[in-house]
Amino acid sequence: MENNNALIRMEKVSKVFVTDEVETHALAGVQFELNKGEYLSVAGPSGCGKSTLLAILGLLDTPTDGAYYLNGQPVTGLKLSERARIRNREIGFIFQAFNLIGDLTVYENVELPLTYRGMPSAERKRRVEQSLERVGMAHRMKHYPSQLSGGQQQRVAVARALSGDPLILLADEPTGNLDSANGEAVMKLLKELHLAGSTICMVTHDPRYSEFADRTIHLFDGRIVEESAEVSASHQ
Amino acid sequence: MIKLRGVDRFYENGAARTYVLRRIDADIREGEFVTIMGPSGAGKSTLLGILGMLDHGWTGEFKLLDYAVEKLRPKQRAELNRKYIGFVFQSYHLIDNLTVYENIEIPLSYRNVPSSQRAGIVCDALDRFHIVGKRDLFPRQLSGGQQQVVAIARAVVANPKLILADEPTGNLHSAQAREIMELFKNLNAGGTTIVQVTHSETNAAYSDRVIYLQDGWIVKADPRTQSG
C-alpha cells in the first residue's frame, strides 16, 4: 500500500563495513517511514547504528543494500552531483558540535548554505533574518560564535539549517555538547519548529529528549527492536 | 605587519574593571612565525581574537599593514579580516554535511571569487595538501589530523598574508601534530606570516620566537621557569 504522505521511506536498508576479515553490519534491514510534519526520534546505545542511519538519511553515505525514497524519489542510485544538490537544498543539518565557522559572524554563518545556490542577496538577507528571528537570535546577528554561549551557538546552527527551507531537519545529538538547561531550551525550540510544520528526525541516546518527539524508533545492533509513540512513553 | 601599542581588554563589573589584557605592546614583522604562550586564562586566545578582528571591545592602538584598526568601523575590519587573514581553530570548524571540496570552497564563495575560477583554486589546494583523494569525502570519514589538514587548506585557499591558529594541534596526537607544524613551517617559508597559540613546547620550537603572556601582561620569559 502506498503512503503518499511519506517524506522518507526506508526499505530493508543495510550497511556493511568490511575491514580485513571482519564484516560489521552497522544496519541490518532497517525499514520505516516518516510522514510530512512528523517528529521522529531514533534512540539506542552508542554503536547501535544511529549515526550510520542518520548519515544515510542525510545523503552523506549510501546503503550497501535496500532502498531510500526521499519525497517519493529514489535517492540511493543518484550521481554524486545530484546527491549533493539534494543534500544542500532539501536537508537541514544540526550537529552536536554546532559546526559554526569561528571567523564568520552569526549572519554569515546562517547565510552560508544560501550562497551555494546563487540566490540574490536581497532574498538571502530576508531568509537569514527570518530564520534568526525564529530561533530568537536576530539581536546577535553581528556577533561571532566565540561571543555566544553553547546554547546560543546551537540556536544559530538551527537557524542555518532552517535558512534553506529544507524538506526535513536532521539533528544528530543536538544537545550532546550542552548543559541540561541549554539542552532543554534547544529541545523546546525543535518542538516549536515541529508544531509550526517542520519535519524532524533526531538521533539521541538520551531518553528524556526522545519524549519530545511524536514517536521513537529504538535501534539495537543495527535493527529496529521497538517503536513507541509519545503518549505511551510519557505515561509510563 | 602588526603593531600593538597599549592594548587593553577589560570587562566592566559594576564599578570594577577586570582586565584580560593589559598594556600590550608587540610588533610582528611580515614573514615571521610567532608563538603566543602562557598559562590558561593568561589572555592568549583573547589576543588572537583581537588580531583577527573578531573582538572589538579593546582599547589602544593596533596597526595591521597600513591600517589603523582602532579607527576602522566593524564592516571595514571584517573586510580586512577577509582579505588578509586565515583562521585555524582547535576544533577544525569544518561543516559535516559538506564534502572536503565544498568545505575548502567556502572562503572563496564569501569572497566573491567567480565560480569559474573557484574549481581551479580548490583543486590547487587539494593538490598542495595531498588530499586530492579525499575531495568527495565528508569530515566524519577522515581522521582528526586529516580534518585539520582540510581546515588549514580552507584557511589558506584565499591566499591570506596572515594565519592565526588557536591551539591547532590541541585535539591531535603527536605524529599528526608534527605534520601540521611542518605544514605551517612550509607556508611560512613561502612568505605567510603565522601567529599561533599553543601550550606545546614542541610546537613552539617550530616558530621564530615566543611571546609569553601571564595574567594579561606580556612577560619577558616563560613564567613557569621564572617561578621555579
What string of H, E and C letters represents the secondary structure of A47-83?
CCCHHHHHHHHCCCCCCCEEEEEECCEECCCCCHHHH
Out of A80, A93, A103, closest to residue B96 by CB: A93
pLDDT in tens, chain B (228 residues): 999 999 999 988 888 888 999 999 999 999 999 999 999 889 999 999 999 999 889 999 999 999 999 999 988 998 899 889 999 998 889 999 999 999 999 999 878 788 889 999 999 999 989 999 999 999 999 999 999 999 999 999 988 999 999 999 988 888 889 999 999 999 999 999 999 999 999 999 999 999 999 999 999 877 666 544
The pTM for the full model equals 0.82
Q: Is B75 on the interface with A (CB under 8 A)?
A: no
Maximal CA-CA distance, chain A: 55
Whether ipTM exceeds 0.90: no
Question: Is A116–B54 a contact, with Cβ atoms under 8 angstroms apart?
Answer: no
User: Quick one: pLDDT at residue A77?
Assistant: 87
Out of A93, A97, A104, closest to residue B97 by CB: A93
Span A78-96, average pLDDT: 92
Question: Is B93–A102 a contact, with Cβ atoms under 8 angstroms apart?
Answer: yes
Span A11-16, average pLDDT: 94
CA quadruple B167, B56, B109, A113: dihedral, nearest 10 = 90
Out of A87, A104, A142, closest to residue B97 by CB: A87
Residues B153-163 have pLDDT tens digits of: 999 998 899 99
User: Quick one: pLDDT at residue A2?
Assistant: 61
β-strand pairing of B2-13 with B58-64: antiparallel
Q: Is B93 on the interface with A (CB under 8 A)?
A: yes
Which residues of chain A lie closer than 8 angstroms to B55, CB-CB? 144, 147
pLDDT band at A235 (very low <50, low <70, confident <90, very high): very low
Shortest Cα distance, chain A CAs vs residue B1, angstroms = 20
Q: Report the candidate in A180, A215, A217 with the shortest Cα–Cα distance to residue A194.
A: A215
Residues A178-217 have pLDDT tens digits of: 988 889 999 999 999 999 999 999 998 888 888 899 999 9
Angle, CA A74 vertex, CA A119 and CA A81 arms, to 5°: 45
Angle, CA B53 vertex, CA B47 and CA B59 arms, to 5°: 65
Using the predicted structure, report yes or no on whether residue A73 has a pLDDT greater than 60: yes
Say how many CB pairs under 8 Å bridge A and B. 53
Q: Which of A3-12, A101-110, B217-226 has the lowest mean pLDDT?
A: B217-226
User: Quick one: pLDDT at residue A232?
Assistant: 43
User: Quick one: pLDDT at residue A234?
Assistant: 42
Residues A22-34 have pLDDT tens digits of: 888 899 999 999 9
Chain B residues 116-175 with CB within 8 Å of chain A: 136, 138, 140
Which residues of chain B lie closer than 8 angstroms to A116, CB-CB? 102, 109
Residue of A nearest to B109 (CA): A115
Looking at this protein, which amino acid is placed at residue B51?
Answer: L
Question: Is A99–B95 a contact, with Cβ atoms under 8 angstroms apart?
Answer: yes
Question: Is A115–B94 a contact, with Cβ atoms under 8 angstroms apart?
Answer: no
Q: Which residues of A lie closer than 8 Å to B, measured between beta carbons?
A: 51, 55, 58, 60-61, 80, 84, 87, 91, 93, 95, 97, 99-105, 108, 112, 115-116, 142, 144, 146-147
Q: Is B197 on the interface with A (CB under 8 A)?
A: no
Which residues of chain B lie closer than 8 angstroms to A100, CB-CB? 93
Read off φ and ψ for residue A69, nearest 5 degrees: -110, 125
Using the predicted structure, report yes or no on whether residue A236 has a pLDDT greater than 60: no
Instruction: At A141, list the grid cell.
Output: 546577528
